[in-house]
Amino acid sequence: MATWFAARPEVAQVLHPALPGSPGHDHWAALCSGAAGLLSVVFDARYSTAQVDAFVDALKLFRIGYSWGGPVSLAVPYDVSNMRRGSPYRGALVRFSVGLEAVEDLQADLEQALAALR
């Protein structure tokens, strides 16, 4: 899912330690042999917080909620600029916990929800 998001034009950055260039990647690569299904996606700054909220609301398989990993896929939007001063992230951020649903089904859900950004 992280590499799928990284290839999307709507996404400015994917925060997942298994991706090269992600914060903490070198540390992760030195110590870990696998990665979890928790990731954050920073949307391009051209999308407003309201647009990213509409994206999350349009998701059908992802539920809205907090988790450190579980069987059900979850998503939570954040406006990091209002939460932390000096944040390096300029776009709205969505934290995802990928559950046990089929990857193809989750990607199709994300794809249809991305229409809400436009």
Q: Domain segments of the chain: what residues?
A: 2-117
Confidence at residue 82, expressed as pLDDT on a 0 to 100 scale: 63
Kindly tell me if the per-residue pLDDT of 95 is higher than 90: yes
Q: What would the pLDDT profile of 48-91 be if each residue is shown by its tens digit?
A: 999 999 999 999 999 998 876 779 999 999 876 665 566 666 67
Confidence at residue 41, expressed as pLDDT on a 0 to 100 scale: 96
Burial group, residue 14, by CB count within 10 angstroms (0-12, 13-18, 19+): buried
Confidence at residue 91, expressed as pLDDT on a 0 to 100 scale: 72
What is the distance of C-alpha 63 from the center of its chain?
13
Q: Which two tokens stand for residue 116?
A: 């809400």
Confidence at residue 89, expressed as pLDDT on a 0 to 100 scale: 60
DSSP H helical ranges for the chain: 2-6, 25-31, 49-58, 80-83, 103-114
Calpha distance 57→79 (Å, rounded): 15
Calpha distance 91→9 (Å, rounded): 13
Confidence at residue 50, expressed as pLDDT on a 0 to 100 scale: 93
Q: What would the pLDDT profile of 7-54 be if each residue is shown by its tens digit?
A: 999 999 999 988 888 787 677 667 877 777 889 999 999 999 999 999
Q: How many CB atoms lie within 10 A of CB 30?
A: 7
Confidence at residue 104, expressed as pLDDT on a 0 to 100 scale: 97
Contacts of 105 (CB under 8 A, 6+ apart): 61
At the second CATH level, the architecture of 2-117 is Alpha-Beta Complex (3.90)
Sign of CA dihedral 29, 33, 89, 3: positive
